[in-house]
Structure 1
Amino acid sequence: MNNLKNLREVMKKENIDYYIIPSSDSHQSEYVAEYFKGREFISGFTGSAGTLLVGLDKAYLWTDGRYFIQAENELKNSGISLMKINTPGYPTMEEWIRDNLKENDVLGFDGRLFSVNQYESYLNIANEKKFSINMEKDLLEDIWNKRSELPKNKIFLHDEKYAGKSAGEKLNEVRNNMDKKCADSFILSSLDDIAWLCNIRGNDVKFNPVALSYVIVGKDYATLYIDKDKVDNETKDKLKSEGFEIKGYDDIEADVKLLSGTVVLDPNKLNAKIFTALNREIKVIREVNVTTNLKAIKNETEIANWELSQVRDGVAMVKFIKWLKENIGKEKISEISASEKLTGFRAMGENYKGDSFGTIAGYKDHAAMMHYSATEASEYELKAEGMFLVDSGAQYLDGTTDITRTFILGPITEEEKIDYTLVLKGHIGLASAKFLRGSTGVNLDILARRPLWNYGIDYKCGTGHGVGFFLNVHEGPQGIRPSGNNVVLEPGMILTNEPGVYKEGKHGIRTENTLIVEKDFVSEEFGEFYKFRTISYCPIDLDGVNVEMLSSEEKEWLNNYHEMVFGKLSPYLSEEEKEFLKRETRTI
């Protein structure tokens, strides 16, 4: 509350009536370095998604259904009201601003933290309602005394034996796309796209192997804008040989002013400050970054490597499950200590570089919070009863993993068993899908929800997201959700399959695997059909399954999946571990 009060004092000095603090950084990243966590600093809300609007006498925080329970808890007594996104009775932030800001009011925000599209949306409202926008200053600079500095971590090269293509080859693909559009330059600001294009990785954002940087590609040049202290001579020489010049991170602000002709940019990724520095005479082509689409379709080398990392990850998961099942009730195990144990098993594997996100380990009602993060103050001790949800993943040089299992630690209620089985039925429904070329994730989302809808249950989030290759665990452009994504699914795309049930105060259940889109068959009459192949290898806890609720096809899928899991993982397990896995993958 003191931080909120101090911000309001600065707002008064700067003649700003309302100030917006988003969750993003200067690159519109989902997960950000500590330096950019201003929304958390002011509000106390620690979720990864949310936007704070502070007025001189009131404040509001907008977030989505993954965080409603968490936000209600963390915002208590803060003076900040929770606004629930996509919930009847709650306006969007744009609607609230349109309805409440008055003529001559000033709306402020840091222009680096807003995309072109976001900025223009507010600008249109401002013009309509005759208030003004001030995006020139980061007001937190004056009040955040212990703010972390921008990270200074060294970048490193991602070997072509993993990536499958050189940075120079990727650069040529970008230029070919530019040529088709008669474009003179391409501005790239999304960090995972830059890491993919340049075959570099970094450590600037926890769990995401990226580095704060920009790229401008011209017809005969390419420039990587990055803190030069992060680049050693070997990396510099390699990048130069692939066609990249290196300049300082902040030099881009001057260089964009010099661009002419036609420039291609992604208005959802480029920030407003850089965009408004462009010459007004320049022609702008707005589209999703071509690199986003290129990296979404994994090449044969990436897919082969990914298979290796998934098997390695499955081995770690089996070791963890065995430890958990055999020690529950015999020694003290908490949500945090279980998470640390799983990280330890993964760290024993080849090419391990860290977790791919903060492990979500929720016991009993904690699991009802989709993105629950245990603390020493909040964590539960696990008992030989109820359910324990663990959503986790790892970064390997040869792949990124993301998997969720809900473990049955002892007796559960009939309601819990029904819900567990419904989630499994939804998971199987999507995993088994065969679909016509041209289908999107929106077309397929209902396959995962239908068993739950039949019981009047839903989950307030998407069913699946893209996954990066030793990159961000959440990667676009593809996704599986009820609406809002019209990206056609293509062979080589990776997505997750993660339906769930979340009942506040009771329990949370999620079963998640990773899928790859593959060609299935061609019909002369109806065209080409695709399918999903599951590439996560880990037993699904059969102790929670009500077998009578499964169809013969669903039982067959589950038995076949478990047979595959045993075949993939058993060569890397001890005899004792094999026997354990045999029980966990038994035929039903």
Structure 2
Amino acid sequence: MLFRLDTYQKGSQSSHEIRTIIVFFAYAIVTPTTATLFVNPSQLTPEAQENLKEAGWDVDGYENVIKRLEELGSKVKEANEEEKDTENDDADETQPKGEAKGKVLVDSKTSLAVAHALGEGHYHVARSSVADAKSIKNAAELEGFRNSHIRDGVALARYFAHLEEHLSGPEQPKWSEYQAAQVLERYRSELELFKGLSFTTISSTGPNGAIIHYSPAEEGSAEIKKEQIYLCDSGAQFLDGTTDVTRTWHFGTPTEEEKRAFTRVLQGHISIDTAVFPSGTTGYILDAFARRALWADGLGIHGTGHGVGHYLCVHEGPQGIGTRIAYNDTKLKEGMVLSNGITPIDSSSCRTVLIQIIVAEPGYYADGKFGIRIESIVLVRKVSTPNDFGSRGYLGFENVTMCPIQTKLVDPSLLNDAERKWLNDYHAEVIKKVGPELAKFGDSRAQVWLERECAAI
């Protein structure tokens, strides 16, 4: 079996995300009796080399993988030819006569060079079993996600409270998008088990919020203004979990257009969060749940959510929620972790799309005006239902992101009773879990802000 160790979703990582992923570029070849890691030796510390040796791994240079694959392909060919020569009447009748039985399993995301090295007929292409295995988190990893998101919520509360005060005060100059992102990183760096960012912070104000994967430059990024919507998509790597959260704020007085768009995005977010579905359902099917509220206003959606790794890549497959055909090949299972977030497209401006993949992250992007997204991390869990049609068992989501959703941007007249209750219950949970941890920092400004933003509507 051959697989890559950098990321399952090869090609999905933007350049700024590559710089923040925890894993390294490598290939691995695993046989019934051997395991070989092909990696740049300079990336391995003496301790890592010793651990690999103790675990039974051989280490070879990254550049040698093609040569080794050619050798492996030749061995497979020889073994298959020997087996065909010894076929007799007692052979497995289900196997077509003369067909080679021995093959190398290669990941469907691997390169054409690998196929050429192994030789035609000597490999079988399939999704990596490694990706499938790590998509389902164990109990310790799931608990780590819960705890890391509570701590992350502390940093977010301190940051947004600080930003709001700075924008409302007389201090000049105001923060640029880049400066604000640095403040958020500083607050995160004070948290226990923090190891770095999970991707470069998308700190965007006004029309920049509608730009695909916007990343503010150190020089020349826009000044954040209280009269404009501010979208912040950020995350951190903790030893016990990876976070990815987007919240949209208005520090002045939002327009009716902004409030309506925000509320529709919120409704899509709630629809995914509260979904109950039979075991075996795919994210491709669930995607329609997120679209309904935005369709009601004639808006399209580009994507909904992506898988998330545990102290690994913030974008991790194969699970996801969206219209990608690949998402229809992966059944959601208990223990998977995804983002809940919709990425809608204004029907009058199809250029303004932001690709998101299972994080719950609904969004709306008005070209040249503003961007809106609400993104949280959800865990797939078993749920109890009055019935169990087909004896399949039913699943739902557990939201672990602990950061308020700004009610000032909500149009309450668009919410039904269940949606209003969801929002109030969510904020009560944020106060309950984040409040005590925030109190440890003695940040009264953030404490007041958190209580106000979590007030019931």
Instruction: Specify the TM-score bucket, using the shorter chain as the normaliser.
Output: 0.7 to 0.9
Q: Does residue 1:426 correspond to 2:241, yes or no?
A: no
CA contact (8 A) 1:384 1:410 kept: yes
Q: Does residue 1:187 correspond to 2:2, yes or no?
A: yes
Among candidates 260, 264, 279, match of residue 437 of structure 1: 279
Among candidates 47, 52, 71, match of residue 234 of structure 1: 47
Partner of 1:192, secondary structure, is: coil
CA contact (8 A) 1:367 1:388 kept: yes
Cα distance, 1:193 vs structure 2 = 6.1
TM-score normalised according to structure 1 size: 0.65
CA contact (8 A) 1:370 1:502 kept: no
Aligned to 1:277: 117
Q: Distance in 2 between matches of 1:542 and 1:453?
A: 22
Cα distance, 1:505 vs structure 2 = 1.2
Q: Does residue 1:388 correspond to 2:230, yes or no?
A: yes
Aligned to 1:370: 212
CA contact (8 A) 2:115 2:123 kept: no
Cα distance, 1:406 vs structure 2 = 0.3
Q: Distance in 2 between matches of 1:483 and 1:532?
A: 21
Aligned to 2:368: 505
Among candidates 412, 428, 432, match of residue 567 of structure 1: 432
CA contact (8 A) 1:364 1:508 kept: yes
Please give the residue correspondences for 1:329-408 in structure 2 after superposition, counting only pairs within 5 Å.
329-330=168-169, 331=171, 332-376=174-218, 378-408=220-250
Q: Distance in 2 between matches of 1:458 and 1:542?
A: 24
1:498-526 deviations in Å (ceiling 9; x for gaps): 11110101111000000010000263444
Cα distance, 1:430 vs structure 2 = 0.8
Q: Does residue 1:216 correspond to 2:29, yes or no?
A: yes
Cα distance, 1:232 vs structure 2 = 2.4
Partner of 2:300, secondary structure, is: coil
> Cα–Cα, structure 1 residues 204 and 273, in superposed 2: closer, same or farther, change >3 Å?
farther
Cα distance, 1:365 vs structure 2 = 1.2
Cα distance, 1:541 vs structure 2 = 0.8
Q: Does residue 1:304 correspond to 2:119, yes or no?
A: no
Please give the residue correspondences for 1:130-209 in structure 2 after superposition, counting only pairs within 5 Å.
186-192=1-7, 205-209=18-22
Among candidates 381, 387, 401, match of residue 536 of structure 1: 401
Q: Does residue 1:582 correspond to 2:451, yes or no?
A: yes
Aligned to 2:63: 250
Cα distance, 1:204 vs structure 2 = 11
Runs (4 or more) in structure 1 with deviation over 6 Å come to none
Q: Distance in 2 between matches of 1:551 and 1:370?
A: 32
TM-score normalised according to structure 2 size: 0.83
Q: Does residue 1:409 correspond to 2:256, yes or no?
A: no
C-alpha RMSD of the superposition: 1.9
Cα distance, 1:378 vs structure 2 = 5.0
Partner of 1:295, secondary structure, is: helix
CA contact (8 A) 1:310 1:535 kept: yes
Q: Distance in 2 between matches of 1:376 and 1:231?
A: 32
Partner of 1:277, secondary structure, is: helix
Cα distance, 1:483 vs structure 2 = 4.0
Partner of 1:517, secondary structure, is: strand
CA contact (8 A) 1:187 1:263 kept: no
Q: Distance in 2 between matches of 1:558 and 1:392?
A: 22
Partner of 2:269, secondary structure, is: helix
Q: Could you list the runs of 5+ residues in structure 2 that have no partner in the other structure?
A: 10-15, 77-101, 340-359
Write the letter of the residue equivalent to 1:252: V
Q: Distance in 2 between matches of 1:409 and 1:544?
A: 10
1:119-139 deviations in Å (ceiling 9; x for gaps): xxxxxxxxxxxxxxxxxxxxx
> Cα–Cα, structure 1 residues 557 and 204, in superposed 2: closer, same or farther, change >3 Å?
closer
Cα distance, 1:307 vs structure 2 = 1.4
Cα distance, 1:404 vs structure 2 = 0.2
CA contact (8 A) 2:273 2:378 kept: yes
Partner of 1:473, secondary structure, is: coil
Partner of 2:185, secondary structure, is: helix
1:395-442 deviations in Å (ceiling 9; x for gaps): 111111100000111012111111011111111111110011111111
CA contact (8 A) 2:376 2:400 kept: yes
Aligned to 2:298: 456
Report percent identity of matched pairs: 37
Partner of 2:162, secondary structure, is: helix
Aligned to 1:268: 108
CA contact (8 A) 1:266 1:287 kept: yes
Q: Could you list the runs of 5+ residues in structure 1 that have no partner in the other structure?
A: 1-185, 195-202
Q: Which has the higher mean CA deviation after the structures are superposed, 578-587 or 492-501? A: 578-587
Q: Distance in 2 between matches of 1:264 and 1:567?
A: 52
> Cα–Cα, structure 1 residues 264 and 292, in superposed 2: closer, same or farther, change >3 Å?
farther
CA contact (8 A) 1:356 1:402 kept: yes
